[in-house]
Chain A
Amino acid sequence: MTEPELTPPEQRLHDLLADVRDREPDPGGPGLEDQIMRTARWQYVARGTLRAVGDLSAVVAMGLRLLVGPDGEPRREPRS
């Protein structure tokens, strides 16, 4: 999309901002990418562990529920 025509003050501002455009800010510490990936790896492992613990808890809870019944009472065979 093209820029609508700039007014003279806007053009002046655009020219002034050329100084800012031309200056590259400090690109960041050399270890920044390593730091990001170290944290990402740690979080990935933690997320996997938490997911496994959650799955295990769900299985245990389902097993208990089958054993004792939904209302906490031991299941009884219906009388015939």
Chain B
Amino acid sequence: MDDEQLIARTRRGELEAYSQLVARHRPEVHRIAARIVGPDDADDVTQDTFLRAFNALDRFRGDASFRTWVLRIAHNTAINTLAKRRAIPVDEVPEPAGDSAPKVRSPADLLESGERQERLLHKIGLLRHDYQVVVVLRDVEELDYNEIADILDCPIGTVKTRLHRARALLIDMLRNNTYDWELPA
């Protein structure tokens, strides 16, 4: 059964249909939420997203797909979550252990066990929220530009501009602050 049919059934009060929509889209919403707000808040963002969508379902007009619509709600919820956090100046943010221990670790160690991934996610998290989101949606999730523009509800040109600036900042941070830039990929 496709999303439109499940939405129609949910509107008629069949909540089992909504539970199928949640099961279908929850993994992607949760994954993107985790990559934007981090794993600790991803459950809350996911739950808020699907409850907001449920309560706004009567206003869903079908201009975009349900998936795009729900990802737009997830994006807004994630941005609100980030905005509520205390703003920490970049130079006060502690680096993850991988960055602070290069003198006692060999480069081979640094390549192990996801430490590089931790550091990259950490750097992405230091970007402005709107930059962070485009990097996650384009460079990590690999969504296409049209889809990202729909989710962010902005023109494609804006998506490209943000992505260009976000990448430049990220490249600067990586060049200046980590060993990763020099290591083989």
Contact = CB atoms under 8 A, between A and B. Distances in A.
Q: Which residue of A13, A27, A39, A44 has the most chain B CB atoms within 10 A of its CB atom?
A: A13
B185 interface: yes
Interface string A10-30: 101111111111011111110
Q: Which residue of B43, B114, B116 has the most chain A CB atoms within 10 A of its CB atom?
A: B43
B158 interface: no
Given A13-B174, A40-B54, A21 B142 contact: yes
A18 B185 contact: yes
A13 B167 contact: yes
Contact of A39 (B47, B116, B120, B124): B47
Given A15-B185, A20-B117, A1 B144 contact: yes
A57 interface: no
Main DSSP-derived SS at the A contact region: helix
Interface residues of A, number: 32
B67 interface: no
A43 interface: yes
A16 B185 contact: yes
B72 interface: no
B46 A28 contact: yes
A43 B181 CA distance: 50
A17 B43 contact: no
Interface residues of B, number: 42
Interface in B1-59: 13, 15, 18-19, 22-23, 26-27, 30-31, 34-35, 39, 42-43, 46-47, 50-51, 54-55
B117 A25 contact: no
A32 B30 contact: yes
A49 interface: no
A10 B185 CA distance: 13
Contact of A21 (B18, B140, B167, B180): B140
A65 B183 CA distance: 80
Interface of B: 13, 15, 18-19, 22-23, 26-27, 30-31, 34-35, 39, 42-43, 46-47, 50-51, 54-55, 114, 116-117, 120-121, 124, 139-140, 142, 144-146, 156, 160, 167, 170-171, 174, 180-181, 185
